[in-house]
Structure 1
Amino acid sequence: MAKSKVFISFDYDNDSDLKTLLIGQSKNEDTPFEISDWSVKEHIQGDWKEKVRAKLRRVDQVAVICGEHTHTATGVSAEVKLAQEEGVPYFLLKGRANNTCTKPKAAKTSDKLYKWTWDNLKALVGGGR
């Protein structure tokens, strides 16, 4: 069975450590997904949204890692909006153990913020939402 291709969306300024942890987890033997690490590292300008849109068209879903400042991360919000427009499923992963994780502004009110555990991650990638 082919592994699900997952795009990671995260707050580059505050949560890069969480992206590194998720990439590390993706290397486990029983991982049902592969990470497509196409993070936009340059300043948000020009046709970056079209570049992200093209990347989203090549993945199966988006993992949105949410931290304390995600609600202010305009890039994360834009990526969620683009995923919605492209019909790419996404899920919100609570990146910090404390209760201060926030959703991106573009998230729907019905979008649940899931606790980051290995079992939850495998279930979410498998479509369990």
Structure 2
Amino acid sequence: MATKERAFISFDIDHDEGAKMMLAGQAKSPDSPFDFKDNSVKEPLSGDWKEKVQRRMDNVDVVIVLCGTQTHTATGVAAELRIAKEKPKPYFLLAAYSDKTCRKPTSASTSDKLYKWTWENLKSLIAGKR
């Protein structure tokens, strides 16, 4: 069996926790290319919050930024993406909903593509095809 990539899921806890639960659930699929390792923390952006996220990201292979309708206002997601870029960890932006307008975090580059969330896309993105 192939080694699974360890994924950190960054998401807007206030608006997209249900979508994150679905994504984490997909990691349990027998043909999943990733393991759900860690995710966003709901703490104020002060103290050692960023340090905790940095340590969590040290133990993952890829960062999945789950983008919902309010992600552009989620300061925690923006900070987590900045940390992923600083590490540098491979990352990609995944649209949390197919029937809504999903927004990128403010720290995303203009060249960062927002990918549709399909099982085939997810497997390709985890494999580095982005």
Taking structure 2 as the reference length, what is the TM-score of the superposition?
0.95
Determine whether 1:47 maps to 2:12: no
**3-state SS of 1:37 partner:** strand
RMSD: 1.0
Determine whether 1:92 maps to 2:90: no
**3-state SS of 1:103 partner:** coil
Which residue pairs with 2:105 in the alignment?
104
Aligned ranges for residues 1-129 of structure 1 at < 5 Å? 1-129=2-130
Q: Deviations over 1:70-101 (max 9, x none)?
A: 00000000000000000101000001113410
Q: How many corresponding residue pairs?
A: 129
How much has 1:43 moved relative to structure 2?
3.0
Cα distance in structure 2, aligned partners of 1:110 and 1:13: 26
Cα distance in structure 2, aligned partners of 1:65 and 1:77: 11
**3-state SS of 2:124 partner:** helix
**Matched-pair identity in %:** 55
- The one-letter code sitting in structure 2 at the alignment partner of 1:83 is A
Cα distance in structure 1, aligned partners of 2:99 and 2:70: 13
How much has 1:55 moved relative to structure 2?
0.8
Cα distance in structure 2, aligned partners of 1:21 and 1:12: 14
Runs (4+) of structure 1 moved beyond 6 Å? Answer: none
Query: Could you list the runs of 5+ residues in structure 1 that have no partner in the other structure?
Result: none
Which piece of structure 1 moves more, 109-118 or 44-53? Answer: 44-53
Query: Could you list the runs of 5+ residues in structure 2 that have no partner in the other structure?
Result: none
Cα distance in structure 2, aligned partners of 1:29 and 1:66: 25
Contact 2:94 2:114 in 1 (8 A): yes
Q: Deviations over 1:48-72 (max 9, x none)?
A: 0011011111100100000000000
Taking structure 1 as the reference length, what is the TM-score of the superposition?
0.96
